[in-house]
Amino acid sequence: MESAGMKIVIDDRPVEVEEGTTILQAAKQAGLHIPHLCFHPAFVPEGSCRICLVEIEGLPKLELACATAVRDGMKISTQSPRVREARRGVLEFLMADHPLDCPICDKAGECKLQDYYQEYGLFEGAFKEAKEKRDKIIKIAEKLILDRERCILCTRCVRFLSEITKTQELGVFRRGIHSEISTYEDAPVQNNYSGNLVDLCPVGAITDTEFRFKTRTWFLAQSESICPLCSRGCNIYVDYHPGFTRIPGTAKIYRIRARENLEVNGRWICDFGRYGFPSLEKDRGDKILWKKEGRDTIMSWEKILSLLAEKLRPRHRTKNTSNIAVVANTWMTNEELFLFKKIFKDDLGLKKIFFADPRPGSGDGFLLQAERTPNARAAKEMGLELNPVNLDDLSKNTDVLIIFGPFLADLHDPSSLKNDLDKIRTKVLVSSHRSGLESYVDFILPASGILEKTGSLTNRDGLVQKFSAVCPPCGDSRPEWSVLIELAKELRINAGYYSRLTQPEVILKEMGKEIAFFR
């Protein structure tokens, strides 16, 4: 701590903070929560909700914790009877025109107004007058609905659009009891970050059509994860409904929210990532299939892997692997790419290694990157060249082809893809999603989706971020790392080495030993 440190006491707890720290921040450092609605760490304090009032020894009036900087020797109380009474009063006014429609409000369960009322309110309403009627369904963006009755005018949404996106689609019109959040004429909120307004709104005034009336927040398990939809690697929460035991098919991911990581994405995520999650759950492959003489036969992992190993083993033994080709992708985790490289490049010595990834889009100059795949950097750091698939090179003198991922289908037109793949005798597809490639191959191995696996991803800046499975694997699917290890075992190459690699954690440690970048 520097000598400029300010020694203060909050609720009898001595704290030392830097000059310029606000009381609210200082309390947070001391592990105390001061209620606040309009304050948000990303914006300049607004001081409009008044609920963060605290008592400072020697000052006649209560002060705003969010907008008052500490002074050396300050003695602050956040729980004195005066403070609690003031909070109650503020709450009473905030609730005076609040519709109390919590039973149908999507924010219920994670609403700060609800939380604070539980903690500091619990009073009979003193207002005899009828509540103000306001518009409750105002479409302010493609996916956003504004409810003016629930709005407490904290202006977090206005400040986000003016300070972060600088698009200023929302403003506060009129004043006093007539104040309202509004768009200008009918110009909607239109930017790639609009979904953050839902996370930001401390009450249920801004909700999104994707989540509206779909479920209750208390059914959702929050898991930390990494957004896979571009190379930025934004930190996210995935809110997953584990399902009702007696109703099959109720397990589902309901929404994606931003998770703070100041190094990567700040406190925001883009709409492309937020609303892209349905594509992760759609068109999933869930069965292991062998198209034996044109008929789909459902297989077990053991059988299909030993069948594949039988086809690869003789070629490995005779060091004649030139007619094996593989197509990988950079949606695979660090661990999976590492195993892929170990087995196919190092052990089998393959020359025909290609990558098929989603087509690049365009970046938006803020978080969203043009590179629409989460782990290209890792492949490069491992010394894998991201050769795009050239169908001629792929099929020429190729006997066995193993394709990882569904993306090849989007990169080539179906007729030429079929034409070239038909030249190859044995074709294997390891994919999480159905893409049309299924009709060209003989073996289909369902891979777990990225939210169903554990592992790590390397973002464009080289930051390795670990993540854990959010939900159980879809159907019979398995993560590629486990498929690769089992395949290596069946191939009986380097058996001692692969049998040690039981978990992604262990694989990452092993990677660190072999590749300095992952240390």
Partner 1 sequence: MIAGLSSELKKKIAEVVARYPKKEAAILPVLHLIQRETGAIGADEERWVAGLLEIRPIKVREVVTFYTMYHQKPVGRFHIQVCSNLPCSLMGGEKVIDHLQRRLGIKIGETTPDQRFTLSEVECLGACEQAPCMMINFDYYGDLTPEKIDGLLKGLD
Q: How far is the CB of 198 from partner 1 (least distance, A)?
A: 21
With vertex at residue 326, the alpha carbon angle to CA 320 and CA 330, rounded to the nearest 5 degrees, is: 145
Q: How far is the CB of 18 from partner 1 (least distance, A)?
A: 31
- Which residues does residue 56 pair with via DSSP β-bridges, in sequence order? 76
User: Is the CB of 183 or the CB of 194 nearer to partner 1?
Assistant: 183
- Which residues does residue 400 pair with via DSSP β-bridges, in sequence order? 324, 426
Kind of pairing between the strands at 221-226 and 206-208: unpaired
Q: How far is the CB of 171 from partner 1 (least distance, A)?
A: 4
Q: Phi first, then psi: what are they for 41, rounded to 5°?
A: -60, -20
Q: How far is the CB of 187 from partner 1 (least distance, A)?
A: 8
- Which distant-in-sequence residues (6+ apart) come within 8 Å of 452 by Cβ? 469, 470, 471, 472, 473, 474, 477, 479
Cβ contact 447:431 at 8 Å: yes
Cβ contact 184:169 at 8 Å: yes
Report the half-sphere exposure of 402 (CA within 13 A, side-chain side).
Answer: 21
User: Is the CB of 172 or the CB of 463 nearer to partner 1?
Assistant: 172
CA dihedral sign of residues 317, 318, 322, 323: negative
Q: How far is the CB of 76 from partner 1 (least distance, A)?
A: 32
Please give the single-letter amino acid code of residue 214: K
Pairwise CA distance, residues 451 & 253, whole Å: 10
User: Is the CB of 184 or the CB of 244 nearer to partner 1?
Assistant: 184
CA dihedral sign of residues 439, 440, 443, 446: negative
Burial of 136 (0-12, 13-18, 19+ CB in 10 A): middle
List residues near partner 1 by CB under 8 A. 168-176, 183-185
User: Is the CB of 169 or the CB of 335 nearer to partner 1?
Assistant: 169
Q: How far is the CB of 172 from partner 1 (least distance, A)?
A: 6
Q: How far is the CB of 80 from partner 1 (least distance, A)?
A: 28
Residue 311 token pair: 């086809």
Q: How far is the CB of 446 from partner 1 (least distance, A)?
A: 50
User: Is the CB of 183 or the CB of 448 nearer to partner 1?
Assistant: 183
Q: How far is the CB of 179 from partner 1 (least distance, A)?
A: 9
User: Is the CB of 184 or the CB of 213 nearer to partner 1?
Assistant: 184
User: Is the CB of 171 or the CB of 243 nearer to partner 1?
Assistant: 171
Check residue 266 and give left, alpha or beta (phi > 0: left; psi -120 to 50: alpha). Answer: left
Question: Residues 253, 259, 261, 265: what is their CA dihedral angle, to the nearest 10 degrees?
Answer: 70
User: Is the CB of 124 or the CB of 185 nearer to partner 1?
Assistant: 185
Cβ contact 226:467 at 8 Å: yes
User: Is the CB of 151 or the CB of 464 nearer to partner 1?
Assistant: 151
User: Is the CB of 106 or the CB of 169 nearer to partner 1?
Assistant: 169
- Residue closest to 37 by CA, chosen among 203, 286, 196: 203
24, containing H or E segment: helix 23-29
Q: How far is the CB of 192 from partner 1 (least distance, A)?
A: 19
